[in-house]
Amino acid sequence: MGSVLVFGASGQLGQCLAHVARERSMTDLVFLPEAQANILDPAGLQGLFAQYQPSYVINCAAYTAVDKAEDEVDLARNVNRDGAGNLSRLCAQHNSILIHISTDFVFAGTGNQPLVETDETAPISVYGLTKLEGEQAVAEFTSRYFVLRTSWLYSEYAGNFVKTMLKLGRERDELRVIWDQLGTPTYAIDLAGCILSIIASGNQQFGTYHYSNEGVTSWYDFATAIFELSRTTVKTIPIRTAEYPTKATRPAYSVMDKTKAKTQLGVAIPHWQESLRVCISRLMATEA
Ligand SMILES: NC(=O)C1=CN([C@@H]2O[C@H](COP(=O)(O)OP(=O)(O)OC[C@H]3O[C@@H](n4cnc5c(N)ncnc54)[C@H](OP(=O)(O)O)[C@@H]3O)[C@@H](O)[C@H]2O)C=CC1
Ligand SMILES: Cc1cn([C@H]2C[C@H](O)[C@@H](COP(=O)(O)OP(=O)(O)O[C@H]3O[C@@H](C)C(=O)[C@@H](O)[C@H]3O)O2)c(=O)[nH]c1=O
Protein backbone atom coordinates (compact mmCIF):
# COMPACT_ATOMS: atom_id res chain seq x y z
CA MET A 1 0.00 0.00 0.00
CA GLY A 2 1.30 3.49 -0.83
CA SER A 3 0.46 6.61 1.12
CA VAL A 4 -3.08 7.64 2.07
CA LEU A 5 -3.89 11.35 2.17
CA VAL A 6 -6.64 12.43 4.58
CA PHE A 7 -8.19 15.84 3.84
CA GLY A 8 -10.23 17.64 6.51
CA ALA A 9 -8.14 15.83 9.15
CA SER A 10 -9.07 18.05 12.10
CA GLY A 11 -12.81 17.43 11.75
CA GLN A 12 -14.74 14.71 13.55
CA LEU A 13 -14.21 11.89 11.04
CA GLY A 14 -10.61 12.90 10.38
CA GLN A 15 -9.83 12.54 14.09
CA CYS A 16 -11.67 9.19 14.24
CA LEU A 17 -9.55 7.95 11.32
CA ALA A 18 -6.41 8.92 13.23
CA HIS A 19 -7.75 7.05 16.29
CA VAL A 20 -8.50 3.83 14.38
CA ALA A 21 -5.31 4.02 12.29
CA ARG A 22 -3.33 4.17 15.57
CA GLU A 23 -5.27 1.17 16.95
CA ARG A 24 -4.58 -0.82 13.77
CA SER A 25 -0.95 0.34 13.50
CA MET A 26 -1.58 1.72 10.03
CA THR A 27 1.27 4.16 9.52
CA ASP A 28 0.90 5.20 5.89
CA LEU A 29 -1.79 7.82 6.50
CA VAL A 30 -0.92 11.49 6.13
CA PHE A 31 -3.36 13.69 8.05
CA LEU A 32 -3.87 17.09 6.45
CA PRO A 33 -5.86 19.73 8.35
CA GLU A 34 -7.36 22.62 6.42
CA ALA A 35 -4.45 24.95 7.32
CA GLN A 36 -2.08 22.58 5.49
CA ALA A 37 -4.38 21.49 2.69
CA ASN A 38 -7.29 23.58 1.50
CA ILE A 39 -9.35 21.53 -0.96
CA LEU A 40 -10.22 24.79 -2.74
CA ASP A 41 -6.56 25.44 -3.60
CA PRO A 42 -5.79 23.43 -6.76
CA ALA A 43 -2.11 24.48 -6.86
CA GLY A 44 -1.54 23.46 -3.25
CA LEU A 45 -3.33 20.15 -3.87
CA GLN A 46 -1.24 19.49 -6.96
CA GLY A 47 1.91 19.92 -4.86
CA LEU A 48 0.66 17.41 -2.28
CA PHE A 49 -0.28 14.82 -4.92
CA ALA A 50 3.14 15.26 -6.59
CA GLN A 51 4.90 14.89 -3.23
CA TYR A 52 3.02 11.85 -1.91
CA GLN A 53 1.75 10.06 -5.06
CA PRO A 54 -1.10 8.68 -2.91
CA SER A 55 -2.68 5.27 -3.50
CA TYR A 56 -5.78 6.50 -1.67
CA VAL A 57 -7.30 9.86 -0.86
CA ILE A 58 -9.92 10.17 1.89
CA ASN A 59 -12.04 13.32 1.70
CA CYS A 60 -13.33 14.19 5.18
CA ALA A 61 -13.35 17.92 4.36
CA ALA A 62 -16.82 19.40 4.10
CA TYR A 63 -19.08 22.31 4.96
CA THR A 64 -21.34 20.65 7.57
CA ALA A 65 -23.24 23.54 9.23
CA VAL A 66 -26.70 22.50 8.00
CA ASP A 67 -28.64 25.62 9.05
CA LYS A 68 -25.88 28.13 8.21
CA ALA A 69 -25.59 26.65 4.72
CA GLU A 70 -29.02 28.09 3.90
CA ASP A 71 -27.39 31.56 4.09
CA GLU A 72 -23.89 30.63 2.93
CA VAL A 73 -24.84 28.83 -0.27
CA ASP A 74 -21.72 29.77 -2.24
CA LEU A 75 -19.32 28.72 0.49
CA ALA A 76 -21.14 25.42 1.07
CA ARG A 77 -21.16 24.73 -2.67
CA ASN A 78 -17.47 25.63 -3.05
CA VAL A 79 -16.38 23.19 -0.37
CA ASN A 80 -18.89 20.39 -0.90
CA ARG A 81 -19.00 20.42 -4.70
CA ASP A 82 -15.90 22.15 -6.07
CA GLY A 83 -13.53 20.84 -3.39
CA ALA A 84 -14.71 17.28 -4.07
CA GLY A 85 -14.26 17.89 -7.81
CA ASN A 86 -10.70 19.19 -7.29
CA LEU A 87 -9.75 16.01 -5.43
CA SER A 88 -11.45 13.76 -7.96
CA ARG A 89 -9.64 15.40 -10.89
CA LEU A 90 -6.25 14.94 -9.21
CA CYS A 91 -7.08 11.35 -8.22
CA ALA A 92 -7.76 10.57 -11.89
CA GLN A 93 -4.45 12.17 -12.92
CA HIS A 94 -2.45 10.26 -10.29
CA ASN A 95 -4.36 6.97 -10.45
CA SER A 96 -5.35 7.34 -6.77
CA ILE A 97 -8.53 5.81 -5.37
CA LEU A 98 -10.86 8.43 -3.84
CA ILE A 99 -12.95 7.66 -0.76
CA HIS A 100 -15.49 10.46 -0.42
CA ILE A 101 -18.08 10.89 2.35
CA SER A 102 -21.66 11.92 1.65
CA THR A 103 -24.89 12.08 3.59
CA ASP A 104 -28.44 10.80 4.08
CA PHE A 105 -29.49 14.45 3.49
CA VAL A 106 -29.24 13.84 -0.30
CA PHE A 107 -32.69 12.22 0.11
CA ALA A 108 -36.00 14.04 0.56
CA GLY A 109 -36.98 11.73 3.39
CA THR A 110 -40.60 11.43 2.35
CA GLY A 111 -40.65 7.61 2.21
CA ASN A 112 -40.97 4.97 4.90
CA GLN A 113 -38.74 2.16 3.59
CA PRO A 114 -34.96 1.86 4.09
CA LEU A 115 -33.21 3.73 1.28
CA VAL A 116 -30.99 1.88 -1.19
CA GLU A 117 -28.16 3.47 -3.16
CA THR A 118 -30.20 3.70 -6.38
CA ASP A 119 -33.21 5.41 -4.79
CA GLU A 120 -34.05 8.82 -6.14
CA THR A 121 -32.13 11.69 -4.56
CA ALA A 122 -34.01 14.94 -3.94
CA PRO A 123 -32.29 17.09 -1.33
CA ILE A 124 -34.44 19.51 0.65
CA SER A 125 -31.63 21.65 2.10
CA VAL A 126 -28.68 23.59 0.70
CA TYR A 127 -26.30 21.29 2.58
CA GLY A 128 -27.97 18.21 1.10
CA LEU A 129 -27.99 19.70 -2.41
CA THR A 130 -24.31 20.69 -2.31
CA LYS A 131 -23.37 17.23 -0.98
CA LEU A 132 -25.27 15.64 -3.87
CA GLU A 133 -23.43 17.95 -6.28
CA GLY A 134 -20.22 16.77 -4.60
CA GLU A 135 -21.11 13.13 -5.33
CA GLN A 136 -21.70 14.10 -8.97
CA ALA A 137 -18.39 16.02 -9.13
CA VAL A 138 -16.56 12.95 -7.81
CA ALA A 139 -18.09 10.70 -10.48
CA GLU A 140 -17.43 13.24 -13.24
CA PHE A 141 -13.64 12.89 -13.17
CA THR A 142 -12.84 9.38 -11.91
CA SER A 143 -14.42 5.95 -11.86
CA ARG A 144 -12.05 4.73 -9.11
CA TYR A 145 -14.10 6.07 -6.18
CA PHE A 146 -16.07 4.97 -3.17
CA VAL A 147 -18.80 7.39 -2.08
CA LEU A 148 -19.93 6.43 1.42
CA ARG A 149 -23.25 8.00 2.42
CA THR A 150 -23.55 8.10 6.19
CA SER A 151 -25.93 9.67 8.72
CA TRP A 152 -26.10 11.28 12.16
CA LEU A 153 -22.34 11.00 12.90
CA TYR A 154 -21.18 11.24 16.50
CA SER A 155 -18.06 10.37 18.48
CA GLU A 156 -15.80 11.59 21.27
CA TYR A 157 -14.30 14.05 18.78
CA ALA A 158 -15.39 17.53 17.58
CA GLY A 159 -18.98 18.74 17.92
CA ASN A 160 -21.96 16.38 17.49
CA PHE A 161 -25.46 15.57 18.80
CA VAL A 162 -24.24 13.25 21.59
CA LYS A 163 -21.88 15.84 23.01
CA THR A 164 -24.53 18.58 22.65
CA MET A 165 -27.09 16.45 24.54
CA LEU A 166 -24.61 15.66 27.34
CA LYS A 167 -23.83 19.37 27.73
CA LEU A 168 -27.47 20.52 27.58
CA GLY A 169 -28.53 17.67 29.87
CA ARG A 170 -26.19 18.99 32.55
CA GLU A 171 -27.19 22.63 32.08
CA ARG A 172 -30.98 22.38 31.78
CA ASP A 173 -33.88 20.90 33.71
CA GLU A 174 -35.74 19.82 30.61
CA LEU A 175 -35.06 19.33 26.92
CA ARG A 176 -37.43 19.19 23.97
CA VAL A 177 -36.30 16.82 21.23
CA ILE A 178 -37.88 15.94 17.89
CA TRP A 179 -39.40 12.45 17.65
CA ASP A 180 -40.84 12.55 14.13
CA GLN A 181 -37.51 12.49 12.26
CA LEU A 182 -36.34 8.90 11.89
CA GLY A 183 -32.88 7.75 10.92
CA THR A 184 -29.84 5.89 12.22
CA PRO A 185 -26.97 7.31 14.26
CA THR A 186 -23.47 6.34 13.17
CA TYR A 187 -20.47 6.13 15.49
CA ALA A 188 -17.77 7.88 13.43
CA ILE A 189 -15.23 5.42 14.84
CA ASP A 190 -17.18 2.58 13.13
CA LEU A 191 -17.25 4.53 9.85
CA ALA A 192 -13.49 5.16 10.15
CA GLY A 193 -13.03 1.41 10.68
CA CYS A 194 -15.04 0.71 7.52
CA ILE A 195 -12.94 3.16 5.49
CA LEU A 196 -9.66 1.67 6.70
CA SER A 197 -10.95 -1.85 6.03
CA ILE A 198 -11.71 -0.91 2.41
CA ILE A 199 -8.12 0.29 2.06
CA ALA A 200 -6.54 -2.68 3.86
CA SER A 201 -8.54 -5.16 1.78
CA GLY A 202 -7.69 -3.53 -1.57
CA ASN A 203 -11.36 -3.89 -2.54
CA GLN A 204 -11.98 -2.38 -5.97
CA GLN A 205 -15.77 -2.67 -6.20
CA PHE A 206 -16.09 1.05 -6.74
CA GLY A 207 -19.35 2.97 -6.46
CA THR A 208 -21.77 4.46 -3.95
CA TYR A 209 -22.52 2.74 -0.62
CA HIS A 210 -24.70 3.40 2.39
CA TYR A 211 -23.03 3.08 5.77
CA SER A 212 -24.68 3.87 9.12
CA ASN A 213 -25.01 1.77 12.25
CA GLU A 214 -27.80 -0.84 12.29
CA GLY A 215 -31.30 -0.09 13.57
CA VAL A 216 -33.70 2.83 13.44
CA THR A 217 -34.46 5.59 15.93
CA SER A 218 -35.66 9.17 16.32
CA TRP A 219 -33.61 12.06 17.68
CA TYR A 220 -35.80 11.89 20.82
CA ASP A 221 -35.13 8.19 21.40
CA PHE A 222 -31.45 8.74 20.64
CA ALA A 223 -31.35 11.54 23.25
CA THR A 224 -33.15 9.32 25.77
CA ALA A 225 -30.59 6.54 25.23
CA ILE A 226 -27.73 9.04 25.67
CA PHE A 227 -29.20 10.18 29.00
CA GLU A 228 -29.82 6.62 30.23
CA LEU A 229 -26.30 5.43 29.41
CA SER A 230 -24.68 8.53 30.92
CA ARG A 231 -27.04 8.47 33.94
CA THR A 232 -28.04 12.07 33.24
CA THR A 233 -31.26 13.13 34.92
CA VAL A 234 -33.11 15.55 32.68
CA LYS A 235 -36.75 15.66 31.68
CA THR A 236 -36.86 14.89 27.95
CA ILE A 237 -39.97 15.92 26.08
CA PRO A 238 -40.81 14.51 22.62
CA ILE A 239 -41.85 17.23 20.17
CA ARG A 240 -42.78 17.39 16.51
CA THR A 241 -40.52 18.99 13.88
CA ALA A 242 -42.93 21.93 13.57
CA GLU A 243 -42.34 22.73 17.26
CA TYR A 244 -38.57 23.13 16.69
CA PRO A 245 -38.20 25.62 13.81
CA THR A 246 -34.83 25.55 12.06
CA LYS A 247 -33.51 27.38 9.01
CA ALA A 248 -32.90 24.15 7.07
CA THR A 249 -35.47 21.41 6.59
CA ARG A 250 -34.29 17.91 7.59
CA PRO A 251 -35.53 14.64 6.05
CA ALA A 252 -38.33 13.04 8.08
CA TYR A 253 -37.17 9.52 7.21
CA SER A 254 -33.58 8.81 6.20
CA VAL A 255 -32.95 5.23 7.29
CA MET A 256 -30.46 3.65 4.88
CA ASP A 257 -30.24 0.02 3.75
CA LYS A 258 -26.67 -1.26 4.23
CA THR A 259 -26.99 -4.55 2.34
CA LYS A 260 -24.60 -3.46 -0.43
CA ALA A 261 -21.86 -2.41 2.02
CA LYS A 262 -22.22 -5.65 3.98
CA THR A 263 -22.10 -7.89 0.92
CA GLN A 264 -19.66 -6.06 -1.37
CA LEU A 265 -17.35 -4.46 1.19
CA GLY A 266 -17.66 -7.33 3.67
CA VAL A 267 -17.98 -5.03 6.69
CA ALA A 268 -19.78 -6.00 9.90
CA ILE A 269 -22.00 -3.20 11.19
CA PRO A 270 -22.79 -2.82 14.91
CA HIS A 271 -26.25 -1.77 16.14
CA TRP A 272 -26.45 1.92 17.06
CA GLN A 273 -27.22 1.11 20.73
CA GLU A 274 -24.10 -1.04 21.04
CA SER A 275 -21.85 1.65 19.52
CA LEU A 276 -23.45 4.42 21.57
CA ARG A 277 -22.61 2.42 24.73
CA VAL A 278 -18.94 2.30 23.66
CA CYS A 279 -18.82 6.03 22.89
CA ILE A 280 -20.53 7.10 26.13
CA SER A 281 -18.26 4.89 28.24
CA ARG A 282 -15.19 6.39 26.53
CA LEU A 283 -16.53 9.93 27.04
CA MET A 284 -17.24 9.22 30.71
CA ALA A 285 -13.81 7.61 31.20
CA THR A 286 -12.08 10.76 29.92
CA GLU A 287 -14.21 12.92 32.23
CA ALA A 288 -13.51 10.78 35.35
N1 LIG B 1 -21.47 15.23 11.04
C2 LIG B 1 -22.48 14.48 10.61
O3 LIG B 1 -23.46 14.24 11.31
C4 LIG B 1 -22.45 13.88 9.23
C5 LIG B 1 -21.41 14.13 8.35
N6 LIG B 1 -21.42 13.60 7.09
C7 LIG B 1 -20.30 13.83 6.20
O8 LIG B 1 -19.16 13.21 6.77
C9 LIG B 1 -17.99 13.94 6.46
C10 LIG B 1 -17.22 14.21 7.73
O11 LIG B 1 -18.04 14.99 8.61
P12 LIG B 1 -17.51 15.50 10.03
O13 LIG B 1 -16.13 15.01 10.28
O14 LIG B 1 -18.57 15.22 11.01
O15 LIG B 1 -17.48 17.07 9.75
P16 LIG B 1 -16.65 18.21 10.47
O17 LIG B 1 -17.39 19.47 10.22
O18 LIG B 1 -16.33 17.81 11.87
O19 LIG B 1 -15.27 18.21 9.66
C20 LIG B 1 -15.14 18.77 8.39
C21 LIG B 1 -13.74 19.33 8.29
O22 LIG B 1 -13.55 19.88 6.99
C23 LIG B 1 -12.77 21.04 7.13
N24 LIG B 1 -12.88 21.91 5.97
C25 LIG B 1 -13.86 22.80 5.66
N26 LIG B 1 -13.55 23.44 4.52
C27 LIG B 1 -12.36 22.93 4.09
C28 LIG B 1 -11.52 23.20 2.99
N29 LIG B 1 -11.83 24.13 2.07
N30 LIG B 1 -10.37 22.50 2.86
C31 LIG B 1 -10.03 21.58 3.78
N32 LIG B 1 -10.77 21.29 4.86
C33 LIG B 1 -11.92 21.97 5.01
C34 LIG B 1 -13.33 21.67 8.38
O35 LIG B 1 -12.41 22.62 8.88
P36 LIG B 1 -13.00 23.83 9.79
O37 LIG B 1 -13.55 23.20 11.01
O38 LIG B 1 -11.80 24.64 10.00
O39 LIG B 1 -14.06 24.48 8.94
C40 LIG B 1 -13.47 20.46 9.29
O41 LIG B 1 -12.26 20.22 10.00
C42 LIG B 1 -18.47 15.17 5.68
O43 LIG B 1 -18.36 14.90 4.31
C44 LIG B 1 -19.92 15.30 6.05
O45 LIG B 1 -20.68 15.93 5.04
C46 LIG B 1 -22.43 12.79 6.67
C47 LIG B 1 -23.48 12.50 7.50
C48 LIG B 1 -23.54 12.99 8.87
C1 LIG C 1 -30.07 20.52 20.01
C2 LIG C 1 -31.42 19.93 19.63
C3 LIG C 1 -31.63 19.41 18.37
N4 LIG C 1 -32.83 18.91 18.06
C5 LIG C 1 -33.05 18.33 16.72
C6 LIG C 1 -32.78 19.24 15.54
C7 LIG C 1 -32.44 18.27 14.45
O8 LIG C 1 -33.62 17.84 13.80
C9 LIG C 1 -31.81 17.11 15.18
C10 LIG C 1 -30.29 17.04 15.04
O11 LIG C 1 -29.78 18.31 15.24
P12 LIG C 1 -28.29 18.71 14.95
O13 LIG C 1 -28.28 20.13 14.62
O14 LIG C 1 -27.43 18.22 16.06
O15 LIG C 1 -27.88 17.82 13.74
P16 LIG C 1 -27.91 18.10 12.17
O17 LIG C 1 -26.95 19.15 11.88
O18 LIG C 1 -29.26 18.22 11.64
O19 LIG C 1 -27.31 16.68 11.76
C20 LIG C 1 -27.05 16.38 10.45
O21 LIG C 1 -25.73 16.84 10.16
C22 LIG C 1 -25.36 16.70 8.81
C23 LIG C 1 -23.93 17.19 8.68
C24 LIG C 1 -25.63 15.36 8.26
O25 LIG C 1 -25.06 14.97 7.23
C26 LIG C 1 -26.81 14.58 8.79
O27 LIG C 1 -26.65 13.18 8.62
C28 LIG C 1 -27.13 14.89 10.23
O29 LIG C 1 -26.22 14.27 11.11
O30 LIG C 1 -32.16 17.25 16.55
C31 LIG C 1 -33.88 18.90 18.97
O32 LIG C 1 -35.00 18.43 18.67
N33 LIG C 1 -33.68 19.40 20.22
C34 LIG C 1 -32.49 19.94 20.60
O35 LIG C 1 -32.32 20.42 21.77
* Model confidence pLDDT, tens digit, residues 264-281: 999 999 999 999 999 999
| Residue bearing the CA closest to ligand 2, atom 31 | 177
- Measured in Å, how far apart are the chain's first and last C-alpha atoms? 39
Residue 111 pLDDT > 70, yes or no? yes
Instruction: Share the mean pLDDT of the chain.
Output: 97
The pLDDT confidence band at residue 195, using thresholds 50, 70 and 90, is very high
Residue 116 CB coordination number (10 Å)? 12
pLDDT at residue 186, rounded to an integer = 99
- H helices of the chain, where? 12-23, 42-52, 73-77, 84-94, 126-141, 161-171, 188-201, 219-229, 259-260, 272-287
The answer to whether 9 and 32 have CB atoms below 8 angstroms apart is: yes
pLDDT at residue 242, rounded to an integer = 98
Average confidence (pLDDT) over 130-141: 98
Q: Which of 6, 7, 10, 12 to mutate to test the pocket of ligand 1 (most atoms within 8 A of CB)?
A: 12
pLDDT at residue 288, rounded to an integer = 66
> What are 64-105's pLDDT values in tens digits?
999 999 999 999 999 999 999 999 999 999 999 999 999 999
Looking at residue 104, its amino acid is: D
- Taking the CA of residue 152 as reference, the ligand 2 atom at the shortest distance is 29
Is residue 11 in some structural domain? Answer: yes
- H helices of 24-58, where? 42-52
Spatial distance between the Cα atoms of 59 and 154, rounded to a whole number of angstroms: 18
- Taking the CA of residue 67 as reference, the ligand 2 atom at the shortest distance is 17
Residue 161 Cα, ligand 2 centroid: separation in angstroms? Answer: 6
State the residue range of the domain holding 80. 4-158+186-214+256-269
The answer to whether 102 and 84 have CB atoms below 8 angstroms apart is: no
Number of domains the chain contains: 1
Residue 39 pLDDT > 90, yes or no? yes
pLDDT at residue 287, rounded to an integer = 78
SS3 108: coil
Spatial distance between the Cα atoms of 105 and 132, rounded to a whole number of angstroms: 9
User: Which positions ≥6 away from 17 have C-beta within 8 Å?
Assistant: 6, 9, 29, 31, 58, 60, 192, 195, 196
Is residue 265 in some structural domain? Answer: yes
Indicate the pTM of the whole model. 0.98
Is residue 278 in some structural domain? Answer: no
Is residue 181 in some structural domain? Answer: no
Is residue 172 in some structural domain? Answer: no
Q: Is 164 in the pocket of ligand 2 (CB under 6 A)?
A: yes
Residue 1 pLDDT > 90, yes or no? no
The pLDDT confidence band at residue 192, using thresholds 50, 70 and 90, is very high
Is residue 95 in some structural domain? Answer: yes
Residue 150 Cα, ligand 2 centroid: separation in angstroms? Answer: 14
- H helices of 24-100, where? 42-52, 73-77, 84-94
pLDDT at residue 45, rounded to an integer = 98
Residue 37 pLDDT > 80, yes or no? yes
Average confidence (pLDDT) over 211-236: 98
CATH number, residue 50: 3.40.50.720
The answer to whether 80 and 136 have CB atoms below 8 angstroms apart is: no
Is residue 242 in some structural domain? Answer: no
Average confidence (pLDDT) over 15-37: 97
Residue 81 Cα, ligand 1 centroid: separation in angstroms? Answer: 13
Calculate what percentage of the chain has a pLDDT beyond 90. 98
Q: Which residues are catalytic?
A: 127
Q: Is 188 in the pocket of ligand 2 (CB under 6 A)?
A: no
The pLDDT confidence band at residue 2, using thresholds 50, 70 and 90, is confident
Is residue 261 in some structural domain? Answer: yes
Residue 80 Cα, ligand 1 centroid: separation in angstroms? Answer: 9
Query: Could you tell me which residues are beta bridge partners of residue 96?
Result: none
